[in-house]
Structure 1
Amino acid sequence: MAARIEDYALLSNCRTAALVSDQGSIDWLCLPRLDSASAFGAILGDEAQGRWRLRPADPDAVSSRRYDGDTFVLITRWETADAVAEVHDFMPIGLDPDVTVGRTDLVRRIVGVRGEMTFAQRLSIRLDYARVIPWVRQTGTEEEPCLVAIGGPDAVALRGAQLTASDHRHEGQVTVTAGEVRDLQLTWFPSHRDLPPALDADEEVERTKSWWQEWADRISHDGARRGDVVRSLLILRALTNHETGGIAAAATMSLPEEIGGVRNWDYRYVWLRDAALTLEALLDHGFVAVAGRWREWLLRAVAGDPGDLQIMYGLAGERDLPERVLPEFPGYEGSAPVRIGNGASAQYQADVVGEVLVTLSAARAAGLGESEFSWPLERQLVRFASEQIERPDQGLWEIRGEPHRFTHSRVMIWAAFDRAVRAVEEFGLDGPVERWRGLRDRMREEIDRDGVVDGCFVQYYGTTEVDASLLLLPQVGYCRPDDSRMLATVARIEQTLMPDGLVRRYRTGTGVDGLTGSEGAFLACSFWLVEQYAVTGRHEEAHDLMDRLCGIANDVGMLSEEYDPVSGRQLGNTPQAFSHLALVRAADALARAEHRPR
């Protein structure tokens, strides 16, 4: 059985990621890329789906853990009655192409601190989403043991300890004394190539720590939540592919929004919306170059007819993301089906173009210069928005029911035209600005007429329901935070979407999403409410809610998508970009409110 979602920590090399439980078990790792097939998938089942466990043989050993500074080098400290040792887990960042091309590495360094401690190692490699039990052979020597597992196009080698086969898994022990260091080194490589040489672990750990720490040292945040902001921005960077520039929405797939439920989705892809909002958070803290790389990624991904625009792509811009079920996985705590791919890639979500243009406008204001194709790309996106202006959509929440004219989506269409007008008026770019102004004014007239009922913004035209996406309207400049309609909307959200003090996306019982079951509180929505409270003078409530939300993060600062206040458990895919970027925005809003002149 897998650990609780909040019991996992993240390792990353900015290409893929591993989840390590507080009991020393790597239960999730896709190789060689975040959206590749899994080699360890026990988080969606048990050892039969792949796992690499390393923990003291003494069952009474207790653990604590932390990251080594502002890095993704995870230090788990194990203590028994007569010994102390640490495991330093990390994925080499791999900046040297002469060394790292065609391989992915994960190092588990065992460090003796006091006394003598024996660690038990148990390895179950299950390639291709647990559909392939690899052929395994021993290739090393007694002094330099090495195990190689091959299945189809993939090969995985483990160096550093002697292992013995037992029922399609391998087991062994490693003993360290005070001051002794033992390195276990796992390497993925294409099965048609030779086994790459072992890395110099001493060199790689220092290189990896320096890279992450130097990146984190560039972050500027003047506020009480600096530690939370830095860790959140680090997680956003970890979800950004170092080679392609694609930004994944999360590191995992099919972790449930309700334990035992069916709302289990694959989030290892690039949602244009989530990536755009992530970039805004990075831009606000000075990372303009990242925005430039993502703009290049966007140009490659959406090349062709704007009518073929998708709401999500693979990490390198792949378009074919069919959703299918993997019966090999029983699901996290029995939450089935387990899905890969994502059917929402075929949806029309009208807000996406607006999100992208808002972010590219912010990048321009932050100093990102135009490339040969950047403004023509934006003009094409504006044209696409104008051609689809009458079309109802599935909305921000990717409903699988009937499309509607969601108020938030309509506002983001307004934002698309607004940013196009600004590009001409404020930055001297060319375009049919009079037409864009007319479309912007037309959208505002429509929203103010059809998106407001009894002085309150509504979820979609024709309903009296609200949803949490309406909290974003002031963030994109559609209205002031203290607009009377906005204040009335906040009051309705508090009355109908906060049964336990945290914000739900919408009322799931209305049937609008076309799904059965329920879900937890969507963490990003509560952070949006913190920001709304902060900018409207409700500072005490803002701080109280922020304290509660940051308290939901686990011991290494990770947040998943949702939270169940009843069971006190994190839910959904983790770490979730949406949650962490919303945390950063909320912390920034609180910092600005604290420094505002009375």
Structure 2
Amino acid sequence: MMAAPIEDYALVSDLHTGALISRRGSIDWLCLPRFDSPSVFGALLGTEEQGRWLLAPEAEAAVVVHRSYLRSTFILQTRWATDTGSALVTEFMPVGDRRASIVRRVEGISGTVDMRQELEVRFNYGTVLPWMRRHPYPHGKLLLAIAGPSALVLRGDNLPVAKDHRHAGRFSVAAGERVDLELTWYRSHTEVPDLIDVNAALASTTAYWETWAAHCEPAGQYLPAVLRSLLVLRALTHESTGGIVAAPTTSLPEIAGGERNWDYRYCWLRDAALTLEAMLGHGYADEALHWRNWLLRAVAGDPEDLQIMYAVDGARDLPERVLTQFSGYGGSAPVRAGNGAVSQYQADVVGEVMVALARLRDHGVAEDHFSWPLQRALMSFLERHLDDPDHGIWEMRGEPQYFTHSRVMMWAAFDRAATAARTHGLDGPVDRWDALRDGLRDEIMNHGFNRDLNSFTQSYGSTEVDAALLLLPQVGFLPPDDDRMLGTVARLEKDLLTKSGLLLRYATEAGLDGLEPGENPFLACSFWLVEQYAATGRMKEATALMDQLVGYSNELGLLSEEYDPVNNTMAGNFPQAFSHLALVRAADALNAVASPDRTATAPTGAVSSSERST
């Protein structure tokens, strides 16, 4: 059976990893115990033989009457109806107990509903069939799955039985009855974890998410979308380390049948920097500080070893490899683990970090004995690589170029460093930083702006445009209503705006990315256009585009990386942190125009950009 459409999936998270659950009731993707661990359920990228856990009514005519999160949480509730009755399935990952588990509760609402479950555990990306056995325990029987260092235990009163290398079973729930199931990961050399108190875990997990959501500062007319987006960012943040993954998935294709399938289960400095800004703009200073501390640990050492991304714990070794056992989502191969872009030089990254840390500093968070010296070291690194071409924000796999956006972000880095020294009394070569900043500005205007076309260009000497040029006003390089920006926007609308009204990243036909041409619109780019429209008084167009984009969310408020407007389906990894980050910023821009006195959530200064493998 093929995986469900991307928009049919829900995310549940315990702040260490996340599971994707389809409307059909199948957990098709789960990596344990971390976001970047090998999968134990991988049917999303192949078939059920790569692992899944199905729990749904047995009746073929069963329908989902309603599916939603329980208020401002990641507790998923699905109400099923059959010819014989109705039932409510509640699914969540307990938060706060450092227990890597997923709980599924079935409650009878009316009549009687026959439920079925199928469990296929496949460790190490679907390649390892575990040894499974039933095991007596003081509180009942357990189903154990063990393979090498990893183990899973399934508890419940209705455990499935072995059948053709999988476990299957059936049970019934009548009105007022309840069946609880819990699947828990643990290290195979340790004792089986104690039995969970499902009621207590449900209550504490609900309290955690609702308490966190209650701290969100007002967000205007798009509050539901902004709040869910902030919750997604929190759900993709590792509770212990502070690392923020770009998405919980790998290799969901940017275009059906294409090769643009990348592993996003890592922490890009660029995305994480923007998360810091989004959190600060809505009252989450503690989360922003947590990320700064992750950053300091991850990049500590020789600045020449700076990477654009790291593992959740700050590890650096992320070699890219093809997982040939997977046929790919919808047959789109290859499926990859690791990301080869880790070794790229992307000149904008230091700028993204400096802009975000400036925002944190302006928010009142003081530098410590480590944070400012590290920033100075990053500036020295940037100075040494001042004349180097790079692979750019879109992680081009062709030859390095002098990308205009990258050069502007270098300008922003020196600008923020000089401002920090001058305004906050921090030590540093202010005059040299000023000179480097001003020199970059002259260079960009001479080589990154085409006067004949009245437009900035994707790279020096090119006539192509790039949606990342919309970020120039966001970091203060020039005002959004500057004639040169307006000319650039006109070019973007002419060359990259699709018939559906969505903005492409760049013209893939130009061949700069080293891959076959063709991709769906990257949602963040259209959110950037919303912000540009709002800043230049085009509010009718800004609002219409914002409403269109928010409308692409599934019924749970989740967004993927890209959207296929022809087939009306999501594309790319899901849920995508950067899409949600861009939504928050676009909403803030609209609200700032509608209520100019609301400075707390208005965009200020810089915003980072998206990572993204091409």
Range class of TM-score, shorter chain: over 0.9
After TM superposition, the structure 1 = structure 2 runs for residues 296-335 of structure 1, keeping only pairs within 5 Å, are: 296-335=293-332
Q: 1:52 and 1:142, CA in 2 relative to 1: closer, same or farther beyond 3 A?
A: farther
Aligned counterpart, 1:525: 525
**Equivalent AA in structure 1 for residue 529 of structure 2:** L
**Equivalent AA in structure 2 for residue 535 of structure 1:** A
1:254-278 alpha-carbon deviations (Å, 9 max, x no partner): 0001111111000000000011111
Q: Is the 8 A contact 1:49 1:126 kept in 2?
A: yes
Task: Select the residue among 73, 76, 81 that pairs with 2:75.
Answer: 73
What secondary structure, in the 3-state scheme, does the structure 2 residue paired with 1:171 have? strand
Alignment of 1:250 with 2:247, yes or no, is yes
After TM superposition, the structure 1 = structure 2 runs for residues 34-113 of structure 1, keeping only pairs within 5 Å, are: 34-63=35-64, 64-93=66-95, 95-96=96-97, 100=98, 103-113=99-109
Q: Is the 8 A contact 2:219 2:587 kept in 1?
A: no
CA–CA separation in structure 2 for the residues paired with 1:141 and 1:208: 26
CA–CA separation in structure 2 for the residues paired with 1:394 and 1:442: 22
Q: Is the 8 A contact 1:221 1:588 kept in 2?
A: no
The CA deviation at 1:142 is 12
The CA deviation at 1:220 is 1.2
Alignment of 1:148 with 2:144, yes or no, is yes
CA–CA separation in structure 1 for the residues paired with 2:517 and 2:31: 29
The CA deviation at 1:179 is 1.6
TM-score, scaled relative to structure 2: 0.95
Q: Is the 8 A contact 1:221 1:229 kept in 2?
A: no
Alignment of 1:199 with 2:200, yes or no, is no
Task: Select the residue among 93, 110, 114 that pairs with 1:114.
Answer: 110
Aligned counterpart, 1:470: 469
CA–CA separation in structure 1 for the residues paired with 2:210 and 2:81: 28
Aligned counterpart, 2:7: 6
Q: Is the 8 A contact 1:262 1:517 kept in 2?
A: no
Structure 2 gap ranges (5+): 598-614
Task: Select the residue among 271, 281, 284 that pairs with 2:281.
Answer: 284
Structure 1 gap ranges (5+): none
What secondary structure, in the 3-state scheme, does the structure 2 residue paired with 1:172 have? strand
CA–CA separation in structure 2 for the residues paired with 1:275 and 1:142: 45
TM-score, scaled relative to structure 1: 0.98
**Equivalent AA in structure 1 for residue 67 of structure 2:** R
CA–CA separation in structure 2 for the residues paired with 1:223 and 1:290: 22
Q: Is the 8 A contact 2:511 2:517 kept in 1?
A: no
After TM superposition, the structure 1 = structure 2 runs for residues 454-533 of structure 1, keeping only pairs within 5 Å, are: 454=451, 455-500=454-499, 501-533=501-533
What secondary structure, in the 3-state scheme, does the structure 1 residue paired with 2:109 have? strand
CA–CA separation in structure 2 for the residues paired with 1:178 and 1:143: 25
Alignment of 1:572 with 2:579, yes or no, is no
CA–CA separation in structure 2 for the residues paired with 1:288 and 1:529: 27
Q: Is the 8 A contact 1:253 1:267 kept in 2?
A: yes
- Identity value in percent: 58
The CA deviation at 1:82 is 3.2
After TM superposition, the structure 1 = structure 2 runs for residues 266-277 of structure 1, keeping only pairs within 5 Å, are: 266-277=263-274
Task: Select the residue among 417, 426, 430 that pairs with 1:429.
Answer: 426
The CA deviation at 1:222 is 3.5
CA–CA separation in structure 2 for the residues paired with 1:341 and 1:569: 26
The CA deviation at 1:178 is 1.2
Aligned counterpart, 1:220: 217
CA–CA separation in structure 2 for the residues paired with 1:423 and 1:474: 20
The CA deviation at 1:499 is 1.9
**Equivalent AA in structure 2 for residue 310 of structure 1:** Q
**Equivalent AA in structure 1 for residue 126 of structure 2:** A
1:270-324 alpha-carbon deviations (Å, 9 max, x no partner): 0000111111111111111112111111111111110110000000101000000
**Equivalent AA in structure 2 for residue 66 of structure 1:** S
Q: Is the 8 A contact 1:351 1:396 kept in 2?
A: yes
Aligned length: 591
**Equivalent AA in structure 1 for residue 82 of structure 2:** T
Alignment of 1:359 with 2:360, yes or no, is no
What secondary structure, in the 3-state scheme, does the structure 1 residue paired with 2:330 have? helix
**Equivalent AA in structure 1 for residue 38 of structure 2:** A
The CA deviation at 1:143 is 8.0
Task: Select the residue among 336, 339, 342 that pairs with 1:339.
Answer: 336
CA–CA separation in structure 1 for the residues paired with 2:276 and 2:400: 28
CA–CA separation in structure 1 for the residues paired with 2:105 and 2:359: 42
1:126-163 alpha-carbon deviations (Å, 9 max, x no partner): 00001100000011379833100001110011111221
What secondary structure, in the 3-state scheme, does the structure 1 residue paired with 2:133 have? strand
What secondary structure, in the 3-state scheme, does the structure 2 residue paired with 1:582 have? helix
After TM superposition, the structure 1 = structure 2 runs for residues 130-169 of structure 1, keeping only pairs within 5 Å, are: 130-140=126-136, 144-160=140-156, 161-169=158-166
Q: Is the 8 A contact 1:288 1:367 kept in 2?
A: no
CA–CA separation in structure 2 for the residues paired with 1:428 and 1:288: 22
Task: Select the residue among 371, 375, 386 that pairs with 1:374.
Answer: 371
CA–CA separation in structure 1 for the residues paired with 2:432 and 2:286: 32
**Equivalent AA in structure 1 for residue 91 of structure 2:** D
**Equivalent AA in structure 2 for residue 488 of structure 1:** G
The CA deviation at 1:498 is 1.0
CA–CA separation in structure 1 for the residues paired with 2:195 and 2:313: 28
Q: Is the 8 A contact 1:79 1:85 kept in 2?
A: yes
Aligned counterpart, 1:404: 401
Q: 1:317 and 1:141, CA in 2 relative to 1: closer, same or farther beyond 3 A?
A: closer
Q: Is the 8 A contact 1:135 1:149 kept in 2?
A: yes
What secondary structure, in the 3-state scheme, does the structure 2 residue paired with 1:315 have? coil
Alignment of 1:450 with 2:450, yes or no, is no
Q: Which runs of 4+ in 1 moved over 6 A?
A: none
**Equivalent AA in structure 2 for residue 356 of structure 1:** V
**Equivalent AA in structure 2 for residue 253 of structure 1:** T
The CA deviation at 1:218 is 0.5
Aligned counterpart, 2:610: none
CA–CA separation in structure 2 for the residues paired with 1:142 and 1:521: 55
1:422-461 alpha-carbon deviations (Å, 9 max, x no partner): 1012111111100000000000010111110022110000
Report the aligned-residue RMSD. 1.1
CA–CA separation in structure 2 for the residues paired with 1:88 and 1:246: 28
